[in-house]
């Protein structure tokens, strides 16, 4: 158990709590970590800018990837002192399906994910990404509040 934990992070406070929990579990179990960030695409906006010309689309994607790199750099700084192996992975697309793909690709044993993220509609206990991941993952999922 907890041999290779995937922790998806979106830069929200709750996702950093999930990272801390995953780090502690990995330390306890001598496991490794896969820290994942999915860069969002805005499909409607993308269709619109495709009409306007590819340059704008490239600028949009470059900006989003820069933000993604920033999230993973923050994660790296929070992992200081961790003795196991950590991989940092970034994908572009729909967060839940990319997280599920990455979990299979990296053969993780568990997923530790925040209950809420950047979207933040307070009355919901679970965000759409965490609920989809919990429903469809083939490995145990720990949801951090």
Ligand X SMILES: Nc1ncnc2c1ncn2[C@@H]1O[C@H](COP(=O)(O)OP(=O)(O)O)[C@@H](O)[C@H]1O
Binding site for Mg ion (CB under 5 A): 117, 119, 127
Tell me the CA distances in angstroms from 42 to 39, 51, 62, 64, 136, one per residue in order. 10, 14, 13, 10, 23
Contact (Cβ atoms closer than 8 angstroms) between residue 67 and residue 39:
yes
Q: Which is nearer to ligand X, 41 or 109 (CB)?
A: 41
- Shortest distance, position 115 Cβ to ligand X, whole Å: 6
Q: How far is CA 87 from the centre of its chain?
A: 12
What is the Cα–Cα distance from 4 to 31, expressed in whole angstroms?
A: 5
Q: Six-digit token pair at 122? A: 């307070």
23 near ligand X, judged by CB under 6 A = no
Look at residue 8 and give the partner it binds from ligand X, Mg ion, none, a contact being a CB closer than 5 to 8 Å depending on partner kind.
ligand X
Q: Please choose, out of 2-10, 21-29, 41-49, 81-89, the segment that lies near ligand X by the rule CB under 6 A.
A: 2-10
Q: Which of 102, 108, 113, 137 contacts ligand X by CB under 6 A?
A: 113
């Amino acid at each position: 158990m907890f041999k290779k934990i995937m922790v998806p992070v979106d830069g929200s406070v709750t996702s950093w709590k999930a990272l801390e929990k995953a780090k502690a579990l990995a330390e306890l179990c001598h496991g490794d970590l896969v820290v994942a960030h999915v860069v969002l695409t805005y499909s409607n906006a993308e269709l619109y800018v495709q009409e306007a010309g590819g340059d704008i689309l490239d600028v949009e994607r470059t900006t989003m990837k820069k933000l993604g790199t920033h999230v993973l750099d923050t994660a790296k700084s929070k992992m200081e002192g961790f003795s196991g192996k950590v991989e940092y992975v970034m994908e572009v697309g729909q967060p839940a399906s990319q997280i599920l793909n990455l979990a299979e690709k990296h053969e993780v044993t568990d997923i530790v994910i925040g209950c809420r993220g950047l979207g933040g509609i307070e009355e919901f206990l679970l965000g759409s990404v965490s609920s989809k991941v919990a429903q469809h993952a083939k490995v145990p999922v720990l949801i951090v509040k």
